Amino acid sequence: GNSVTQMEGPVTLSEEAFLTINCTYTATGYPSLFWYVQYPGEGLQLLLKATKADDKGSNKGFEATYRKETTSFHLEKGSVQVSDSAVYFCALTLQKGAQKLVFGQGTRLTINP
Amino acid sequence: KAGVTQTPRYLIKTRGQQVTLSCSPISGHRSVSWYQQTPGQGLQFLFEYFSETQRNKGNFPGRFSGRQFSNSRSEMNVSTLELGDSALYLCASSWGDRGSDTQYFGPGTRLTVL
């Protein structure tokens, strides 16, 4: 089946630290990959996405590269801010005729000033 | 452009009752999907509608149902509520029906079953 595995949380960092949140997937087809972020009391917001191998998604200083050979889509940011504190979800959909997002378990990130 | 809206934002029901949740997608979007979020199970797909047709359904009992109207607005219904149905129910919309199309989420409806 299709599944997403994210690095265990919670993760606590100091402001301006480097962030990596690992994400690996298994898929029967050729998936599109997404990172969503959820702030307290809110729904999910798309952070970035990649739809084919070697694509790099980027937004707000966050980046992730679609690595087909390692079935990974790790999220990185060079210098985190307190405002980045949230829960981050890695997710996939299959390309054809399917809007079904399969999510990882989420990683809670806390940034201390 | 207005985002995805969900009503109501909060609901409290008792076991055995039924509930209807509403979702208005972004204008022009034809696909609506529903997800359940709980601390124990995380985010799970409920169902997806495109042009009033249910295209995909997740692994939930028949008590969970939905529909989509000609203006793309969607409702989901849960009958005979159980305590375990307490969750945040999220609706998402997208323009097309491809997996690569971005889904935009609403703020959710927080359902509490007592």
> pLDDT per residue over B85-98, tens digit each?
999 999 999 988 77
Q: CA distances (Å), B18 to each of A2, A8, B81, in order?
A: 32, 36, 6
Q: Do A100 and B45 touch (CB under 8 A)?
A: yes
Residues in chain A closer than 8 A to B45 (CB atoms): 100-102
* A62 C-beta neighbours (distance < 10 Å), count: 20
**Helix, strand, coil content of chain A in percent (nearest 5):** 5, 55, 45
Residues in chain B closer than 8 A to A88 (CB atoms): none
Contact B55, B85 (CB under 8 A): no
**B81 burial level (CB within 10 Å; 0-12, 13-18, 19+):** buried
> pLDDT per residue over B63-77, tens digit each?
999 999 999 999 999
pLDDT level of residue B22 (50, 70, 90 thresholds): very high
